[in-house]
Amino acid sequence: MSISVKNVSKRFGNFQALDNVSIEVTSGCLLALLGPSGCGKTTLLRIIAGLEIPDSGSVRYQDTEVTHSRIQDRNVGFVFQHYALFRHMSVFENIGFALRVRKWSQSKVDQRVSELMHLVRLQGMEDRMPSQLSGGQRQRVALARALAAEPKVLLLDEPFGALDAKVRSELRAWLRRLHEEIHMTSVFVTHDQEDAFAVADKVVVMRNGRIEQQGKPVEIFEHPANPFVMDFLGHVNVFHGRQENDVPLLTGFRGPEEGEGSGKWVYVRPHELDLYLHNQVDGSLVGTIIQVLPVGGIIRVLLEDPVSTARIQVDLHHLRAKELLLENGKRMWVAPKRIRTFEPEYSI
Amino acid sequence: MNRLAPKVLPGFGITLGFTLTYLGFLVLLPLGALMFQALSNNPFDFFRSAFHPRALSAYWNSFSMAFSAALLNTFIGLLIAWVLVRYRFFGRRFMDAVIDLPFALPTSVAGFVYSTLYSERGWLGEFLGQNGIHLTHTWFLTVLVLLFTGFPFVVRTVQPVLEELDGDLEEAAAILGANRFQTFIHVIMPSILPALITGFSLAFARGLGEYGSIVFVSSNLPYRSETGPVLIVSRLEENAINDASAAAIVMLMASFGMLLLINTLQKRRQSNG
């Protein structure tokens, strides 16, 4: 079932939580609402669920207008950030709650709950209480509970927020696989771009109650619409420069001509910079290495521009790093493989 | 455990010592004296006075009135706590403060006010009398005054639990399809039940021991409307100290047993989840 949000605005007192926001979630799509805290992403999710009523605008499920319909009638699955499991109920009772209030027969409830226990891989834990479960298990119980009454839409509020890194990445992969199995239209909220990019089909980046950009993860990552999106999606080196003959001039170097954008500030991701022992590329910048850190599969090199004392972060493949014999204090030439320029219009 | 290892919280010895002394002087010593007084005569006398028909009727009156009042208070108290926690309205803070009045007001004042108000010449009594309702010295009026003295207990025990109640849980229940009633029964009630039971026990215990207000509103007729505490005082006035202490022991044991039972049931329920 598709979800369509049109021109939705919501105010809380003096705070404009959402300002004329529209999104389309196609049927079977897994969409991520991404943004810093206070950007309105959770409010938007709650409006889609029916937990908040928008001040203006409309929400439609497929062809049905649901903006003002009762939350009980919408049949959405919702997973709360802190799970909101019923503490006095066992895992079985939690998962079966939606069925019991719908007056399903005991045998049908048993059957459905055991199906779900299998789906979320919690077989044998039916009689446990929520307090006896780990964070990841609670999350899966919350998910099974949300799926019990076969909702048409699944909404998740910061589904990985309260988990440690390892469980988080496992659950991420698992959620992605689950989505491929059941193909339910899903929307989840996150402030972590890794969550969004690892799981979602489509990402909506939000700021201050507005949508900054929406599209496929690769699209957004490769072609950020503005400096905010670029900055939010990961570390970025910013060089203040000026434009000359349509080519951005940097304090130290000139970027390659295939750069994107037409602004005065140049944005380069750490992995899009390369280091050279000698000045090979026209207009390279000179920097002194101050730190070399192996981070996962890459080597992260931190350099300082001796003139402006600006810090430059460069991510290198470890083979390339070996070649260059990196060490602290060594002077290197920095040149970009790819740049983007934006007008200096924003501040965080 | 290593005796030399410094403890996180010092002063265990002195605080426990103080606690025991305090308990001993204020609770155990008087109760022991009561026991001694009651049992200093022969056991036969003790049982005769403890289970004298007049005493039995007084116990029954006390327990039935206190129980009814506590039960009603549980509902009324829950309702008041709910309104105070869930809604924002003009005068809420004032109402919140008024709840504590029965704690502060001497109960004899409450009894006096109630008996005057509902007497044939009182404001309410006169009006009710014209409509054929006479409440003076009735069981009903006694329960009413017990309602007054006991209801802050329920409000004050349930209120903080309601305030702490996670709003997510109710939203979760609603999203899962539960209506307001189902949400209340299956989600809210189990969370506040322990507090509700505690409030009930406190109100009940308060009602059992009530004297000051009851002497005013009740007719205090032996065998009919006399309650335990009233019986004990009138026995003392008759200089029948052994009878008084025998009745006191029975009241004490029964109340203690009752509270113990409630606590045990609650513990068991909690450990079952």
pLDDT digits (tens, 9 = 90+) for B120-153: 888 888 888 888 888 778 888 899 999 999 989 9
CA distance A33 to chain B (A): 20
**Mean pLDDT over all residues of chain A?**
85
Closest by Cβ to B177, choosing from A72, A88, A89:
A72
CA distance A295 to chain B (A): 39
Write the burial class of residue B220 (CB in 10 Å: 0-12 exposed, 13-18 middle, 19+ buried). buried
Chain A residue with CA closest to B187: the answer is A86
pLDDT at A251: 44
Q: Summarize the confidence of residues A7-20 as an average pLDDT.
A: 91
Q: Where are the domains of chain B?
A: 26-272
Residues of chain B with Cβ-Cβ distance to A72 below 8 Å are 174-175, 177-179
Q: ipTM value, please give it.
A: 0.80
Q: Max Cα separation, chain A?
A: 77
A265 touches chain B (CB under 8 A): no
DSSP states of B228-249 as a string?
HHHHHHHHHHTT-HHHHHHHHH
CA distance A76 to chain B (A): 7
Chain A residue with CA closest to B273: the answer is A88
Chain B residue with CA closest to A83: the answer is B168
pLDDT at A222: 86
| pLDDT band with cut points at 50, 70 and 90 for residue A103 | very high
Chain A residue with CA closest to B270: the answer is A88
B187 touches chain A (CB under 8 A): yes
Residues of chain B with pLDDT under 50: 1, 273
CA distance B270 to chain A (A): 9
| pLDDT band with cut points at 50, 70 and 90 for residue A188 | very high
pLDDT in tens, A105-151: 999 999 999 999 988 888 889 899 999 998 889 989 999 999 998 89
Q: Summarize the confidence of residues A315-332 as an average pLDDT.
A: 85
Closest by Cβ to A101, choosing from B171, B178, B190:
B178
pLDDT at B243: 86
A79 touches chain B (CB under 8 A): no
pLDDT in tens, A53-82: 999 999 999 888 888 888 888 889 999 988
How is residue B53 written in tokens? 């028909």
The amino acid at B24:
G
Write the burial class of residue A271 (CB in 10 Å: 0-12 exposed, 13-18 middle, 19+ buried). middle
Write down the pTM of the prediction.
0.78
Q: Cβ neighbours of residue B62 under 8 Å, at least 6 residues apart?
A: B207, B208, B227, B228, B229, B251
A86 touches chain B (CB under 8 A): yes
Angle at CA of residue A19, ends A15 and A23, nearest 5°: 135
Residues of chain B with Cβ-Cβ distance to A109 below 8 Å are none
Checking if the pLDDT of A330 tops 90, the result is no
Residues of chain B with Cβ-Cβ distance to A13 below 8 Å are none
Q: Which of B165, B171, B176, B180 to mutate to test the interface with A (most CBs of A within 10 A)?
A: B176
Residues of chain A with Cβ-Cβ distance to B185 below 8 Å are none
Q: Summarize the confidence of residues A85-109 as an average pLDDT.
A: 93
Own/partner pairs, A148-151, CB within 8 angstroms, 24+ separation: A148/A95, A148/A96, A148/A97, A148/A98, A148/A99, A148/A112, A148/A113, A148/A116, A148/B176, A149/A75, A149/A77, A149/A98, A149/A99, A149/A102, A149/B176, A149/B177, A150/A75, A151/A75, A151/A76, A151/A77, A151/A184
Distance separating alpha carbons of residues B14 and A193, to the nearest angstrom: 56
B271 touches chain A (CB under 8 A): no
Distance separating alpha carbons of residues A114 and A172, to the nearest angstrom: 23
How is residue B62 written in tokens? 């006390």
The verdict on a CB contact (< 8 Å) between A102 and B171 is no
Look at A250-259, A316-325, B125-134, B203-212 and tell me which has the smallest mean pLDDT.
Answer: A250-259
β-pairing verdict for A30-34 and A202-207: parallel
Q: Packing angle between helix B29-39 and helix B43-50, nearest 10 degrees?
A: 100
How is residue A15 written in tokens? 């705070």
pLDDT at A348: 46
The verdict on a CB contact (< 8 Å) between B172 and A80 is yes
- With contact defined as beta carbons under 8 Å apart, do A216 and A307 qualify? no
Distance separating alpha carbons of residues A335 and A281, to the nearest angstrom: 7
Residues of chain A with Cβ-Cβ distance to B173 below 8 Å are 86, 97, 101
Backbone angles phi and psi of A5, in degrees to 5: -110, 125
pLDDT in tens, B147-172: 999 989 999 999 999 998 888 899 99
Q: Which CATH class is domain B26-272?
A: mainly alpha
Most confident of A280-289, A296-305, B130-139, B141-150: B141-150
CA distance A71 to chain B (A): 6
pLDDT at B273: 46
The verdict on a CB contact (< 8 Å) between A149 and B187 is no
Rg for chain B (alpha carbons), in Å?
Answer: 23
A71 touches chain B (CB under 8 A): yes
